[in-house]
Amino acid sequence: MVERLLRAPGQYWMLAGMWIRSTLAYPLSFALMMVTGVLITITDFVAVLLMFSHINAFGGFSLAEMALLYATSSLTMGIADLLTGSIERVGRRIRSGSLDAYLVRPVPAFIQTAADEFRLDKVGRVLQALTVLVIALTQIDVDWTVARGIMLVVGVVSGALIFCSFFTLGAAFQFIAIDSAELSNSFTYGGRTLTQYPLTAFGTDVVRAVTFVVPLAFVNFYPVLFLLGKQAPLGLPSWIGLLSPVAAAVMVAFAALGWRGGLRRYRSTGS
C-alpha cells in the first residue's frame, strides 16, 4: 500500500510529461490557451470589482477580504483542476470501451485517467490565483501567528483535496450514468463560484449544508475566517478551520470508495 502510494507521483509525472511534450509542440496555441484560461477565470473577480463600484461591503466582507476568498477559492480549484480535472473525460472512454487499455497497464487506472490529456496551460490559472492571493494579503492587516500561517498552507492543500474528491466522485458516477459529466460541474465549478463569496451571505441553511453535508465551507471559508480573526457562524468555534484536513480526509475516503465501486461496475463495450 505504502509502496504503491510512493510510486504514484512518479507514474503520474511520467504520463503528464508525455502530454506536456505533445502540447509544447504547438507553442502559439499553448500560449493562447493559457492566456484565455487566465482571462476567463479572472472574469469572476471582475464581476466582484464591478459589484464594489456600487457597494462597500458584501455580507460584511471588504473588497480586499473578498479578494482573499476569490484567491483561495481559485487556487484550490486551480490545483485540483490541474491535477485531476481531466478525469471527467472518463465518460468518453467508458462509452468507446477504450478504458480497457488502462486496466491492463501496470499503473493504477485512477492515475492514468487523472493524467489523461494533462493540460499544462491550467498552470496559468494557479499562478493568477497566487498573484491575487499575494496582493490581497498585502492589502489586509492580518495579525500573523504561527497557527495562522499553518492554517493558510493547510487550508489550501485541504481545499485542493476536497475539489479533487469532487472531480473523482463525478467521474465515478459516470460509470453508473453515462453522459452525466455535466452533473459534477455543480460541485466543482459550482463549488468554486459559491466559495468565492462569504457563505454566511447565503443564509444559515446553506451554511449548515456546506458544513455538514457537502463540506465546501472547509475549502476556504473557515480557514479564511480563522486567518482574519472573524467569528465562525452557527456558534461554531473560531478554530473550526483547523478541521479542514479532517473534512478533506473524509472526502478523499468517499472518493476512493466511489472510484473503486465505479471501476468494479465497468463492463466493456465488447467490441
- Per CB under 8 A, does 100 bind other proteins? no
The residue among 108 and 258 lying less far from other proteins, judged by its C-beta, is: 258
- Per CB under 8 A, does 180 bind other proteins? yes
The residue among 68 and 151 lying less far from other proteins, judged by its C-beta, is: 68
- Per CB under 8 A, does 201 bind other proteins? yes
Q: Which of 39, 41, 50, 34 is nearest to 192 (CA)?
A: 41
* DSSP letters spanning the chain: -HHHHHHHHHHHHHHHHHHHHHHTTSHHHHHHHHHHHHHHHHHHHHHHHHHTTT-S-BTTB-HHHHHHHHHHHHHHHHHHHHHHGGGGGHHHHHHHTTTHHHHHSSS-HHHHHHTTT--GGGHHHHHHHHHHHHHHHHHS-----HHHHHHHHHHHHHHHHHHHHHHHHHHHHHHHSTT-GGGGGGTTHHHHHHHTS-GGGG-HHHHHIIIIIS-GGGTTHHHHHHHHTPPPGGG--GGGGGGHHHHHHHHHHHHHHHHHHHHHH------
Shortest separation between residue 231's beta carbon and other proteins, angstroms:
18
Question: Which of 203, 229, 237, 261 is in the footprint of other proteins by CB under 8 A?
Answer: 203
- Per CB under 8 A, does 213 bind other proteins? no
Shortest separation between residue 114's beta carbon and other proteins, angstroms:
21
- Per CB under 8 A, does 186 bind other proteins? yes
- Per CB under 8 A, does 147 bind other proteins? no
- Per CB under 8 A, does 39 bind other proteins? yes
- Per CB under 8 A, does 40 bind other proteins? yes
- Per CB under 8 A, does 135 bind other proteins? no
Question: Which of 137, 148, 185, 243 is in the footprint of other proteins by CB under 8 A?
Answer: 185
- Per CB under 8 A, does 59 bind other proteins? yes
Question: Which of 100, 105, 182, 237 is in the footprint of other proteins by CB under 8 A?
Answer: 182
Contact 234, 260 (CB under 8 A): no
Question: Which of 194, 247, 248, 263 is in the footprint of other proteins by CB under 8 A?
Answer: 194
Question: Which of 1, 5, 6, 55 is in the footprint of other proteins by CB under 8 A?
Answer: 55
Question: Which of 43, 104, 235, 271 is in the footprint of other proteins by CB under 8 A?
Answer: 43
- Per CB under 8 A, does 202 bind other proteins? yes
The residue among 49 and 101 lying less far from other proteins, judged by its C-beta, is: 49
Q: How far is CA 85 from CA 90, 135, 146, 200, 229, in A?
A: 11, 27, 33, 28, 33
Q: Which of 251, 179, 170 is nearest to 210 (CA)?
A: 251
| Residue count, binding to other proteins (CB under 8 A) | 36
Contact 214, 187 (CB under 8 A): yes
Residues within the interface to other proteins (CB under 8 A): 29, 32-33, 36-37, 39-40, 43-44, 46-47, 50-51, 53-55, 57-59, 177-183, 185-186, 190, 193-194, 197, 201-203, 206
